[in-house]
Structure 1
Amino acid sequence: MPKRALEGVKVLELCQGVAGPYCTKLLADLGAEVVKIERPGGGDAARSLPPFFHDIPDPERSGLFLYLNTNKLGVTLNVTTATGKDIFQELVKQADILVEDNPPQWMTEQGLDYESLQEINPRLIMTSITPFGQTGPYRDYKAYPLNVFHCGGEGYLTPGGVENVGRPPLKVGGFLVEYDSGLSAAIAILAALYWRRKSGGGQRIDISKQESLMALNRLDMVRSANEGEVITRAKQGVPYGGALPCKDGYTVFITWESVQWDRLVAFMENPEWANDDKFEDYADRVKHGELLNALLTEWLVNHTQEELYHQGQATGVPFAMVYTSKDLVDSAHLKARGFFVEIDHPKTGKVKYPSAPYQFSETPWQVIRPAPLLGEHNEEIFVRRLGHRREELAKLGAAGVI
């Protein structure tokens, strides 16, 4: 089996939901060994979130949990108990990285703050992911993904376009802010690992979900800070073109440049309306964007996504297709790249999963194991790794420790 990029790096995860588990999933996919700690009995809250395999609610069948926790080992441990704290500290001694997503004061209240853990492992990189960071007046505020999304400024600009100015703020689908925060944390951890190789010491990483999302709109933020201009939806989105209906769904195209507009007109076989003075130059087309989109749509609905994409691209017009999830799974391109892979899980059997958006020539992405069942690796970690006796596990379970 070929080596993996982060082989030998040991990660301890004390997280639930999406952001923290996605961060450690990225590290696990790069080859790090991730030990996921879940609370006894219920486990990660993501286990209770849909979609479920075959629509049967089951903590071992949540598609969200299964995706986020592939390639990880899983144990159950109650770190609020005295014995649980001792076992947790044993794990920390062996870890390179700890990722946690608890409220800012919680780890301190448990005696598991960075300063305390650094004493037993000076090389530890501890990453904390919270809605508003470890400092500041909002540090103790609680927030769901919906709250954080709008606190990051993205909701104010969504959906973009003049036609949407009067609509209420809108959160985009899924867990964008959570995934983006997890990605920010993973990048920061890789930098800390590099720095540790040079310095020998660990460090604390403070990740704010709000600030992670704000990074998506850096240009808008600095314009407000330096020019006093508040960007609105009227200045977001595409003035004409963009996502418009076609014969079998939607297509996307943008013609910022005059040469692209000329090519589009030629591609449409020079309709008479295209010579109207209203569409003479870019400024005119922007001014009459709503009318222009109506005329474009009349032509587009007679053509399929495939026709527009392939024939339009061939003429130099930047067309793209609006894919559904089924389109992506059936994509010949993604099949050729092997993007979707089958992973065999004891509760679902073989199911297709997304793999990784990169391909290494020397340290390829690999499926090492499916997402863990709740407490699946308790014996492997607590007995074989830490040296506890097998008969202890039953007592620890009865006491609510594991």
Structure 2
Amino acid sequence: MGPKLLEGIRVLDLSRVLAGPWAGQVLADYGADVIKVERPGAGDDTRGWGPPWWGEGEDRVAAYYLSANRGKRSIAIDIASAEGVALVKQLAREADVLLENYKVGQLAKYGLDYAALSRENPKLVYCSVTGYGQDGPYAAAAGYDFAIQATGGLMSVTGEKDGTPGSEPQKVGVAVADLFTGMYAASAILAALIERGRTGQGRHIDAALLDTQVAMLANQASNYLVGGKTPKRMGNAHVNIVPYQVFATKDGHLVVAVGNDGQFARFCALAGDAGLAQDPRYATNEGRVERRGELVPAIAAWMLERTTAEWTALFEPNAVPCAPILELPGVFEHPQVVHRGMQIEAANGTPMVASPMRFDGQRALADLPPPQLDEHGDALRAALARDGGWPSR
């Protein structure tokens, strides 16, 4: 097991689906003790988001759920009941962190909102994850990653450009608005815990998917705000760099990611046309971006002369950034991915992707597999009844 940097930190995870659970899993991998509260009978929605499934019969669980819930203990609690509310409050009194992604105002009905719980536990760092935030005209709206990618502008710059086959706005292949919100939430929680060490006071963190998505527009947003032009879909091309896109090869495709003028000079020399990089029209990235329409077709013609493997063998040793486009089997067979140990097995044999973070050479990794629904419920309820405080692991 990896280093336990957050050992002693107690996290009460009332969230479900992806953004909140992802934040909780990050904290668990860093050593926090995470108790996941789930609905009796059904649990987290993603338990049923299969196939594929892991396990058999009543014990089977969707692979989707497994991706975001490593390192947690599960207890089923009906928060609509007085008994359930009492249990959550009992846990919250000694928690350091509470994660939730209920609709705005919903937990206040049960006295489980930040205002109520912080009176009993002033040190509580309470993180609310919603689609649109705790205030504003859309605060009450349900927020789903797909809708947020659309509203937040990501789909407007993702997909083939207008006029090409298959040209329509596209979502990213994984739920990036959820995932980035989970990561932002985790970093905000850690910042609030550091501050609490100085002040003794917790915080209410308002983590909104739409806010995160807008922030994630990064250079595209900056290009618009500074340049005043609305960015359009460009397929796999880069709005600010040329050549930086996918090219067809003799037998497939290759990503070419030339990021500076020196790389472009090497790229041209290796391809057999060193003079192109010396042409004043193309010698600088600014010139290449301005003349994208005439330069890219010339490069595309070169790239058809060799196979993907031949180009890779030529470019990689000479510091020209490039990469074949791998499907998932190839990803997990890639020698660097294998060397770094990114495919792991939980203690119960569940195949998983490891945390990407290492500390002094050790990978951060929670020691519990994703739990079955209410797997730890009986033990947790008994400990709460017996001891009254946060149940030890």
Report the Cα offset of residue 70 of structure 1.
Answer: 1.0
Q: Distance in 1 between matches of 2:177 and 2:27?
A: 19
- Give CA deviations for 1:307-337 in whole Å, capped at 9, x if unaligned: 3234203233222232221111101112222
Quick one: which amino acid aligns to residue 175 of structure 2? F
Over 3 Å counting, the alpha-carbon distance change for 1:357 and 1:124 in structure 2 is same
Corresponding residue of 1:399: none
What is the letter of the counterpart of residue 104 of structure 2? P
Residue of structure 2 aligned with 1:266, choices 265, 269, 273: 269
**Aligned-pair CA distance for 1:279:** 6.0
Partner of 1:244, secondary structure, is strand
How far 1:303 moved relative to its partner? 3.4
Change (3 A) 1:292 1:106: same
Per the alignment, residue 312 of structure 2 pairs with 309
Q: Go from structure 1 to structure 2 and tell me whether the alpha carbon gap of 1:384 and 1:156 turns closer, same or farther (over 3 Å shift).
A: same
CA contact (8 A) 1:13 1:36 kept: yes
Residue 36 of structure 1, CA deviation: 0.5
Go from structure 1 to structure 2 and tell me whether the alpha carbon gap of 1:195 and 1:275 turns closer, same or farther (over 3 Å shift): closer
SS across alignment from 1:231: coil
Counting only pairs closer than 5 Å after superposition, residues 295-306 of structure 1 correspond to structure 2 as: 295-306=298-309
Return the alpha-carbon distance in structure 2 between the equivalents of residues 228 and 288 of structure 1: 20
Using the TM superposition, name which of 52-61 and 357-366 deviates more.
52-61
Give how far 1:387 is off: 2.2
The CA deviation at 1:43 is 0.7
CA distance in 2, matches of 1:285, 1:61: 51
Q: Once structures 1 and 2 are overlaid, which stretch shifts more, 302-311 or 4-13?
A: 302-311
Between the two proteins, the alignment pairs up a number of residues equal to: 385
Map Cα deviations across residues 101-137 of structure 1 (whole Å, 9 max, x no partner). Answer: 0001101122211111112211111000000100111
Give the match's secondary structure for 2:269. helix
Map 1:209-224 to 2 at 5 A: 209-222=209-222, 224=224
1:140 counterpart letter in structure 2:
A
User: Aligned to 1:12, what secondary structure does the other structure show?
Assistant: strand
Q: TM-score, normalised by structure 2?
A: 0.87
Once the two structures are superposed, residues 38-86 of structure 1 have per-residue CA deviations (whole angstroms, 9 ceiling, x without a partner) of 1001110011113413798977331110121111111100111111101
Q: State the partner residue of 1:201.
A: 201
Instruction: Using the TM superposition, give the Cα deviation of residue 383 of structure 1 relative to its aligned residue in structure 2, in angstroms.
Output: 0.6
Kindly state the Cα deviation for residue 285 of structure 1 after the two structures are TM-superposed.
4.6
> Given the superposition, is the C-alpha separation of residues 57 and 2 from structure 1 closer, same or farther in structure 2, using an over 3 Å criterion?
closer
Deviations 1:151-207 (A, max 9, x none): 212111113768769943221112111001100100000000000111111111111
Decide whether the 8 Å contact of 1:80 with 1:110 is kept in 2.
yes
**Are the aligned partners of 1:90 and 1:386 in contact in 2 as well (CA < 8 Å)?**
no
CA contact (8 A) 2:156 2:233 kept: yes
Measure how far apart 1:263 and its partner are.
Answer: 1.8
Which stretch shows the higher mean deviation, 129-138 or 53-62?
53-62
RMSD: 3.1
Aligned partner letter, 1:32: A
Give the TM-score normalised by structure 1: 0.85
Extract unaligned runs of 5+ from structure 1: 390-402
Q: In 2 relative to 1, CA 164–18 (structure 1 residues): closer, same or farther, beyond 3 Å? A: farther
> Who is 1:85 aligned against?
85
Alignment of structure 1 residues 353-372 onto 2, 5 Å? 353-361=352-360, 364-372=363-371
Distance 1:58 1:175 in 2: 28
* Structure 2 equivalent of residue 44 of structure 1: 44
Distance 1:165 1:217, change over 3 A: farther
Could you tell me which residue of structure 1 aligns to residue 35 of structure 2?
35
Once residues 54 and 43 of structure 2 are traced to their aligned partners in structure 1, the CA distance between those partners, rounded to angstroms, is 21
Q: Would the aligned equivalents of 2:131 and 2:148 in 1 still touch at CA under 8 Å?
A: yes
CA offset at residue 227 of structure 1? 5.8
Give the Cα separation in 2 of the matches to 1:225 and 1:269.
40
Task: Tell me, yes or no, if structure 1 residue 21 matches structure 2 residue 24.
Answer: no
User: Structure 2 residue aligned with 1:320, among 309, 319, 323?
Assistant: 323
Residues 251 and 321 in structure 1, CA contact (< 8 A), matched pair in contact too: yes
- The answer for the alignment partner of 1:117 in structure 2 is 117
Which segments of 5 or more consecutive residues in structure 2 lack a partner in the other structure? 389-393
Deviation at 1:238, TM superposition (A): 5.1
The 1:142–1:388 alpha-carbon spacing in structure 2 relative to 1, beyond 3 Å, is: same
Distance in 2, matches of 1:76 and 1:370, equals: 17
Q: Per the alignment, in what secondary structure is the counterpart of residue 233 of structure 1? A: coil
1:240–1:290: 8 Å Cα contact kept in structure 2? Answer: no
Give me the whole-angstrom Cα distance separating, in 2, the residues matched to 1:226 and 1:297.
31
Q: Provide the identity percentage.
A: 27
2:377 matched residue in structure 1: 378
Distance (Å, rounded) in 1 between the aligned partners of 2:374 and 2:245: 48
What letter corresponds to residue 112 of structure 1 in structure 2?
L
**SS in structure 2 of the partner of residue 206 of structure 1:** strand
Quick one: structure 1 residues 367 and 113, their matched pair in 2 at CA, closer, same or farther if it must change by over 3 Å?
Answer: closer
Asked if 2 retains the 8 angstrom alpha-carbon contact of 1:342 and 1:351, the reply is yes
Partner of 1:147: 147
Deviates more, 1:21-30 or 1:58-67: 58-67
Bigger Cα displacement from structure 2, 274-283 vs 72-81: 274-283
For the Cα contact (< 8 Å) 1:47–1:58, is it kept in 2? no
Distance 1:280 1:37, change over 3 A: closer
